[in-house]
């Protein structure tokens, strides 16, 4: 069964690269250009929220990290006979990645329905990835076998980053339907979505004793405009840090 999971993860990984490559060859539109034209108040930019929209390095950073950990997980499942729980978690992770591969070609269509559809896809990816991370339970159930942490960390980072991406996609969808495509951002435009996400992830991280669930949001908030001036953004950072700290305490307490 573990080899089947390895094959599924490999197929999901190749599907992501394949769909991305085909999309680039068949369309002149890029995710970066779409996000530049449809600016969101809390979309990550450079450190401290400076710089133009659509050019934040954290998108590539997180996906590169996820792909590297998934690649390592393929070898873990291929050569190690894992428990049924880890195999179930691996299948869920493969499903999440296969769904994530569908996001880019739909998003770059740049129509209201495509923004809504991509938001729904990312929401399902988030739910499946969180379920995968919850079952893997990397900080309590892997019994200090270091190579199994490769998969557990990959599932957790995917869940955390999919949550951030879902919030951004939902925000874009709401904005497009309320103000139209390519609408310029207004001076007082703000959103509570990041803070709501921080509260949800805080609760999940504590409940699952998995502090890393909050990690992607903590990092992403440092790249959001207003991290030092907008109470919604720095409250997002503080709540996510609180979730991280309390989840760590649960691990230490046992």
Q: What is the DSSP string of 192-212?
A: SHHHHHHHHHHHHHHHHT-GG
Tokens 């339907």 belong to residue: 177
pLDDT single digits (tens) 192-218: 999 999 999 999 999 999 999 999 999
Please give the pLDDT value at position 216. Answer: 97
Give me the pLDDT at residue 38, please.
Answer: 85
pLDDT of residue 141: 67
Tell me the torsion sign for CA atoms 143, 144, 145, 151: positive
DSSP label at residue 80: S
In degrees, rounded to 5, the angle at the alpha carbon of residue 199 between the alpha carbons of residues 193 and 205 is 130
Confidence category of residue 227, pLDDT binned at 50, 70, 90? very high
Whether residue 165 lies inside any domain: the answer is yes
Q: Is 239 a member of any domain?
A: no
What is the domain count for the chain?
1
Write phi, then psi, for 235 (nearest 5 degrees). -70, -35
- Nearest residue to 208 via CA among 173, 246, 157: 246
Query: Residue 251: is its pLDDT beyond 90?
Result: no
203 in any annotated domain? no
pLDDT at 226 over 80: yes
Q: Please check whether residue 215 lies inside any domain of the structure.
A: no
In sequence order, the 6+-apart residues with CB closer than 8 A to the CB of 104 are 19, 20, 23, 31
* Residue (of 207, 109, 119) closest to 163 by Cα position: 119
pLDDT above 70 (res 188): no
CB 228 within 8 Å of CB 234: yes
For residue 17, being part of any structural domain is answered with yes
Helix (H) or strand (E) holding 14: helix 2-26
With cut-offs at 50, 70 and 90, classify the pLDDT of residue 143.
low
Each residue of 32-79: pLDDT tens digit? 888 888 888 898 999 888 887 777 899 999 999 999 999 999 998 998
Question: Can you give the pLDDT at residue 254?
Answer: 65
For 93-114, letters b (16+ CB in 10 Å) and e give: bbbbbbbbbbbbbbbbeeeeeb
Token output for 183: 């609408």
Q: What is the tens place of the pLDDT at every residue in 77-111?
A: 998 888 888 899 999 999 999 999 999 999 999 99
Please state the separation of Cα 33 from the chain's center in Å.
20
Report the alpha-carbon distance of residue 152 to residue 248 in Å, rounded: 16
Domain that holds residue 52: 2-190
Nearest to 218 by CA among 197, 240, 196: 240
Q: What is the pLDDT of residue 80?
A: 84
Least confident of 26-30, 51-55, 167-171, 235-239: 51-55
Q: Could you read off the pLDDT of 106-142 as tens digits, one per residue?
A: 999 999 999 999 999 999 999 999 999 999 888 876 5
Residue 219 scores a pLDDT above 70: yes
Radius of gyration of the chain (CA): 18
- The pLDDT assigned to 180 comes to 86
Tell me: pLDDT of 189 over 80: no
Residues 6 or more apart whose Cβ sits within 8 Å of residue 58:
44, 219, 220, 223
Residue 28 within a domain: yes
pLDDT, residue 144, reads: 60
In a domain, 250, yes or no: no
Could you tell me if residue 201 is inside a domain?
no
> Helix, strand, or coil here: 239?
helix
d(CA 252, CA 254): 5
């Amino acid at each position: 069964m573990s080899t089947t999971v390895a094959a599924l993860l490999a197929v999901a990984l190749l599907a992501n690269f394949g769909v991305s490559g085909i999309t680039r060859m068949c369309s002149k539109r890029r995710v970066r250009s779409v996000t530049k034209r449809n600016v969101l108040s809390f979309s990550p930019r450079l450190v401290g929220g400076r710089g133009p929209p659509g050019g934040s390095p954290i998108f590539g950073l997180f996906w590169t990290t996820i792909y590297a950990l998934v690649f390592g997980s393929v070898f873990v499942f291929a050569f190690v006979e894992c428990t049924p729980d880890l195999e179930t978690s691996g299948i869920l992770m493969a499903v999440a990645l296969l769904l994530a591969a569908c996001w880019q070609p739909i998003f770059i269509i740049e129509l209201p329905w495509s923004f809504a559809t991509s938001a729904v896809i990312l929401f399902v990816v988030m739910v499946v990835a969180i379920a995968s991370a919850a079952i893997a339970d990397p900080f309590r159930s892997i019994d200090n076998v270091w190579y199994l942490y490769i998969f557990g960390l990959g599932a957790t980072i995917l869940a955390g980053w999919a949550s951030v991406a879902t919030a951004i996609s939902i925000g874009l969808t709401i904005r497009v339907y309320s103000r139209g495509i390519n609408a310029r951002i207004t001076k007082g435009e703000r959103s509570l979505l990041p803070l709501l996400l921080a509260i949800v992830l805080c609760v999940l991280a504590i409940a699952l004793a998995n502090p890393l669930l909050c990690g992607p949001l903590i990092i992403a908030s440092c790249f959001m405009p207003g991290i030092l001036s907008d109470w919604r953004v720095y409250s997002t950072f503080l709540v996510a840090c609180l979730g991280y700290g309390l989840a760590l305490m649960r691990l230490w307490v046992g």
